[in-house]
Structure 1
């Protein structure tokens, strides 16, 4: 029976009923006797999938451009000639590169002996040099080559010669290893690197029998003779030398900062490799696929909500893979989401409650003892009693942190209002401001699903404000790049310099010194002249007015086009007037706006109402009707009416005794702009309860520590920056409790009912409340601040966190740590020369609090600005300098540092 299927065809027609005529943008052809109508340009291999016909393949991938590299998908093809006679092509064709044309007749291996023989021949050629090491290969058990060798290969081999071999493995990076003899040259990895990530990661090399995938390295490929081989670059060690294992052949390439180069997305090449040529160093030889239990989940490292798959065995997570979600991350994730999971079961993991004893001497002085293990009953009782006393002594602040599920964040907000009777709750464990809180209440909370990944991919223009997409939202970067490559998207970035990620987006840079973003946004909104130069300069030599740069006019016109989007990061909170100017910009241009925080739990916490003036669903605290809504749902008579304190104000109040205690969630002091002040405030607090996964400098100051479950051991949901709810279930069954259950037990100990015992209970209550349909809070209206005056020897501090840095979420993953960028200080040539600094010198960046010394990289960037990574090893800006972006810092050559090529002069009596 002949059937026809096409997009939009009715089920009756698909079953063989009367067929409507093909549309002008469709072509009708036949495959294995089935007549199909498909959109023009459809590949034959895709059309076959639509009707359930399986064609073997290795190089084909739906998200990569056709390559026809492996030739495994050969089919027999006949097409009409000029007279309409259907004539066969002289030889089988690769169905992964062949577009369906009108009247084409395709026969796959299911109906054609020619196609079947061709596929058998290709498989035989692929297996000639392929090693028979399936029992020890990481891909064994889930290998397309194994499967297709059985289904589309010969039963016996005719090859009797010696197989080709290569030294192995090559360390492509500290994380990715390459076994070249297993490679079938499908080029999936090289195409992913070039098309999707835009990284010069690995490529096809040599010709003929020696053709291979790898990095270009003369020592590895054997091009250099023994005496002329170049010395290994300083700092470029093989992964074995760094990790303590037997070193593979060769060393990874270096990036400009002197570290072995690796893409932030390199792990995707391991997953899409159809054989065992590319493997992950952390997972290599650790398990077999059929020993693993797989659980779908969601990435916890950023706000993109990427779908992942957790593979575990006997209660231990062995690897994480990308899940398939076309609406969000497609089939890609960052290396951080893939490899950084060891932190959830680190050696400092808290497994039982801890209580600190207090002793009162004869004079009434209280002495705090050491933390000691305690039972849950004792810890909850001590916590309830201590929080009640602290509430009576001035009140209790609540600092949940921004890494929680929406259920946990909701429980913290409810606990603050119902049990502690306060609106002193704020999840923003980072640089923040009152203006930002007003912006979130006005433009983000309760808005539901807003701008989506698909919409930014197909937008005519996207403006990035205080957002470095590759470092702070990796999957968002990939979708932006896809839009640039395939849909003509124009990206604009408001930043001090064009980072490598911005360059790979072909983005137009609007040079903005830290603190001038608000003025830039007003210029875009109103067209008025700026008080700073078009290069974003600040300081005494900045011109008072300039002619409007062409890129400003281009961006204003682009944002006025339907579908244009502005993506704003959380770093704009450190710029007075930034969010106010941003709202004026989108109002004047009609562009859509999306807030992209860095942490996974930030958007969910906003929706859950863990802000001092915000209740769940975007309900403003000052609105009586909004408070009634929530009070009825919570079964209480009333809620506190006065908006509470922000994170910074809570810490200030603790330090001077205005608050009696604090309840802390996943808070790390280094995330805040002044970690020393944070720790002093917690140390001065009358009573501290900390709910945490691992021991930290905060738990060391707590009076009671209550261990909670990491994401892998609990069910929950993250709300992505899109506003999309991303639910997941627990991958590992343990006795560890999520935050909301611990808070529910703590409320019970206080004699109150929180109603947050189970995840289902919390979700039902959130759904019942829904979003606020009343008047939204007014938009913030804060004036921009004047840029600081830059004196000689000083500069304005700029910076953001790198994707891979010294954050605690990456602890324990030594292979991933080897691919992190080495921290450097970036200066313009003019700024560096004014401080007597040159490329490769070591600069000392200092404040009255401390200093950081880093090598200088001369960068085409804004003048009078120094850029530092905020949280990398050797560059903990908040901890060492005690300031945030936009502050003035001193810059000078580091004492005792010699420049490249200079010899250090001997001291008196020293040998030269």
Structure 2
């Protein structure tokens, strides 16, 4: 793992010799990484490029020339220096590798045919490639009760564990949840949780993915498929707005697991459990599979697509365009949001549409805020100012990136929040205040000389969002204005839903047109009208205004695209009343939720991994979402 102190060394290039071949590497780079980057693979179990090296498994032993002759070193803990001569294939190295594997297999059960890791197991692969070929051990192996349920999602098989400490190190170094640890000593050393404390981490699934054997397995995937049975496609997680890259894997048209993809720009291979195990919703038996139309008895009944669309067309055409509104677009793709906005603005001819539900930031602030920072700018930040939601709860993988910057890279983390957050333990300064007093706290901070000294040196990254609904919704704009004026500062406004930025780019906001064009921009409107021919005049109503309009009968119809205002709007009573008072509601969704259950027509749509498109994350990065399986039933 690179540290800020070692960053200057990486700029210097040196030459080392690996197996008789001269290669150019970065000064101070770990030998195991340098060799791999230049085509020489050194076997390993405990080393992981995103964690600190520990040299525990000894599988990566190599010979290095020294003034006293050749000596064996662990390549995962040895930095490169100029002129280093390395031998990874000598007889001594091969003998050491065989010995390490023989020791590891003494107590390891030979249950590959029933192990979930079979076919993608590093221990299995390296035993075949570097092992002795046969074992001299004939005694009884060590036995433990198996498996142990250490959380609702993760099972532990202690017999398979090779004590590489990847899981315990991840929990301590990366996630900050040291809930799994070694216990006992000697031959009885084992990984376990603490008594009466489950492995209740938001990131427990990562330990399953990085485990080099089948000691940790995920309950949703256990005994479901073999790796060679899986079809896979790389995609983007849409659970939140971080935009983690994932591998979606399916068998027989059923998604069976998500794996994190190592992407420097976003998630660095990590996933939160909400994102990793969210695939179970795709396979849910409660998915909508056919259109539903409300009958004269007041109940929803199955219908054909043609009948359902006829009802929608008749009911929407019976009211004026400006009496119709739309909510949604932030949970799907950019292409779906664009089609939604174009339909409402040019076919229905209404300006009333919103992708947020009164719990986010002003759309003009979100699209117009500059200078913008990227997630990867956290790697170089000297100071991080976080005034927004608890990242561990709402943007979990961004929480991991901020935690790494503060804990490993030496950034000063300043948190301003009314409550305790998951990052408080690594903060250089935490400012806690009573909810609703944010404006006065901001004034105090702007006049604080100690804080001014702490943030004097850039680069500074400001993470700005809403800490809660008790705050004035104009506070984030004031905070952003303060941070932006600091030397070397850049900003990341924080949003909750997966594709808010994409929806805003597509014009799903009362004050915006596609392309982040203000509704008041005459030139932008004229350019759009050349293609759309008709664009409604003036700004529309936001989510709360739409719900108020439905209650007041000034609006008569509502179109919902993946939106559940009854569950998500800050005032669920208002939302419920609005849907009940609306003359007509049509919902396009994957489930029958609290809002779509009150609709007059419900249309089943394809969900994640069933449709193709793009999404835009909170830093403005556009990424691909790919299709792997067909949607259920008649969903489109």
Kindly indicate whether residue 63 of structure 2 is the aligned counterpart of residue 135 of structure 1. Answer: no
Of residues 352, 374, 378, the one that matches 2:307 is: 378
- Counting only pairs closer than 5 Å after superposition, residues 219-618 of structure 1 correspond to structure 2 as 253=197, 260-357=198-295, 369-391=298-320, 395-400=323-328, 402-431=330-359, 436-443=362-369, 450-499=372-421, 501-525=422-446, 527=447, 552-571=448-467, 574-590=471-487, 591-618=489-516
Q: Is the 8 A contact 1:709 1:736 kept in 2?
A: no
Q: Which stretch of structure 1 is more off in the superposition, 511-520 or 122-131?
A: 511-520
In the TM superposition, structure 1's runs of 4+ consecutive aligned residues that sit over 4 Å from their partners are 570-574, 735-738
Larger Rg: 1
Tell me how far apart the structure 2 counterparts of residues 262 and 105 of structure 1 sit (CA, whole Å). Answer: 46
Tell me how far apart the structure 1 counterparts of residues 272 and 326 of structure 2 sit (CA, whole Å). Answer: 32
Tell me how far apart the structure 1 counterparts of residues 466 and 284 of structure 2 sit (CA, whole Å). Answer: 29
**Kindly tell me: are residues 506 and 691 of structure 1, through their superposed partners in 2, closer, same or farther at Cα, counting changes over 3 Å?**
same
Tell me how far apart the structure 1 counterparts of residues 111 and 415 of structure 2 sit (CA, whole Å). Answer: 49
Q: Is the 8 A contact 2:596 2:602 kept in 1?
A: yes
Tell me how far apart the structure 2 counterparts of residues 517 and 620 of structure 1 sit (CA, whole Å). Answer: 29
The superposition leaves residues 400-432 of structure 1 with CA deviations (integer Å, 9 ceiling, x where unpaired) of 153122211122221121011111001112435
**Kindly tell me: are residues 316 and 441 of structure 1, through their superposed partners in 2, closer, same or farther at Cα, counting changes over 3 Å?**
closer
Structure 1 residue 560: deviation in Å?
4.5
Structure 1 residue 709: deviation in Å?
0.9
Of residues 617, 629, 649, the one that matches 2:527 is: 629
Tell me how far apart the structure 2 counterparts of residues 312 and 729 of structure 1 sit (CA, whole Å). Answer: 13
**Kindly tell me: are residues 736 and 569 of structure 1, through their superposed partners in 2, closer, same or farther at Cα, counting changes over 3 Å?**
farther
Of residues 32, 53, 78, the one that matches 2:65 is: 78
Structure 1 residue 559: deviation in Å?
4.1
Structure 1 SS opposite 2:317: helix
The superposition leaves residues 345-386 of structure 1 with CA deviations (integer Å, 9 ceiling, x where unpaired) of 32221111112245xxxxxxxxx6322211111111211111
Structure 1 SS opposite 2:623: strand
Q: Is the 8 A contact 1:465 1:572 kept in 2?
A: no
The superposition leaves residues 833-863 of structure 1 with CA deviations (integer Å, 9 ceiling, x where unpaired) of xxxxxxxxxxxxxxxxxxxxxxxxxxxxxxx
Structure 1 residue 343: deviation in Å?
1.8
The superposition leaves residues 783-827 of structure 1 with CA deviations (integer Å, 9 ceiling, x where unpaired) of xxxxxxxxxxxxxxxxxxxxxxxxxxxxxxxxxxxxxxxxxxxxx
Q: Is the 8 A contact 2:205 2:276 kept in 1?
A: yes
**Kindly tell me: are residues 735 and 628 of structure 1, through their superposed partners in 2, closer, same or farther at Cα, counting changes over 3 Å?**
farther
Structure 2 SS opposite 1:487: coil
Q: Is the 8 A contact 2:255 2:282 kept in 1?
A: no
Structure 2 SS opposite 1:48: helix
Question: Gapped runs of 5+ residues in structure 1?
Answer: 1-21, 82-86, 218-251, 254-259, 359-367, 528-551, 743-912
Tell me how far apart the structure 2 counterparts of residues 399 and 159 of structure 1 sit (CA, whole Å). Answer: 67
Tell me how far apart the structure 2 counterparts of residues 583 and 100 of structure 1 sit (CA, whole Å). Answer: 43
Structure 1 SS opposite 2:614: strand
**Kindly tell me: are residues 570 and 610 of structure 1, through their superposed partners in 2, closer, same or farther at Cα, counting changes over 3 Å?**
farther
**Kindly tell me: are residues 418 and 558 of structure 1, through their superposed partners in 2, closer, same or farther at Cα, counting changes over 3 Å?**
farther
Q: Is the 8 A contact 1:123 1:153 kept in 2?
A: yes
Q: Is the 8 A contact 1:138 1:288 kept in 2?
A: yes
The superposition leaves residues 866-912 of structure 1 with CA deviations (integer Å, 9 ceiling, x where unpaired) of xxxxxxxxxxxxxxxxxxxxxxxxxxxxxxxxxxxxxxxxxxxxxxx
**Kindly tell me: are residues 571 and 672 of structure 1, through their superposed partners in 2, closer, same or farther at Cα, counting changes over 3 Å?**
farther
Q: Is the 8 A contact 1:497 1:509 kept in 2?
A: no
Structure 1 residue 201: deviation in Å?
2.1
Structure 1 SS opposite 2:255: strand
Structure 1 residue 261: deviation in Å?
4.6
Kindly indicate whether residue 100 of structure 2 is the aligned counterpart of residue 100 of structure 1. Answer: no
Tell me how far apart the structure 2 counterparts of residues 331 and 614 of structure 1 sit (CA, whole Å). Answer: 35
Match of 1:30 in 2: 17
TM superposition score normalised by structure 2: 0.94
Tell me how far apart the structure 1 counterparts of residues 439 and 341 of structure 2 sit (CA, whole Å). Answer: 32
TM superposition score normalised by structure 1: 0.66
Structure 1 residue 27: deviation in Å?
3.6
Match of 1:644 in 2: 540
The superposition leaves residues 97-132 of structure 1 with CA deviations (integer Å, 9 ceiling, x where unpaired) of 1222333221112xx111111111111111111101
Q: Is the 8 A contact 2:424 2:430 kept in 1?
A: no
Q: Is the 8 A contact 2:177 2:201 kept in 1?
A: yes
Match of 2:175 in 1: 197
Structure 2 SS opposite 1:369: coil
The superposition leaves residues 557-612 of structure 1 with CA deviations (integer Å, 9 ceiling, x where unpaired) of 44453321211124567514303422431343242221111110211111111110
**Kindly tell me: are residues 555 and 618 of structure 1, through their superposed partners in 2, closer, same or farther at Cα, counting changes over 3 Å?**
farther
Match of 1:730 in 2: 627
Tell me how far apart the structure 2 counterparts of residues 146 and 153 of structure 1 sit (CA, whole Å). Answer: 10
Structure 1 residue 523: deviation in Å?
3.4
Question: Gapped runs of 5+ residues in structure 2?
Answer: 1-8
Tell me how far apart the structure 2 counterparts of residues 717 and 341 of structure 1 sit (CA, whole Å). Answer: 18
**Kindly tell me: are residues 725 and 737 of structure 1, through their superposed partners in 2, closer, same or farther at Cα, counting changes over 3 Å?**
farther
**Kindly tell me: are residues 691 and 67 of structure 1, through their superposed partners in 2, closer, same or farther at Cα, counting changes over 3 Å?**
same
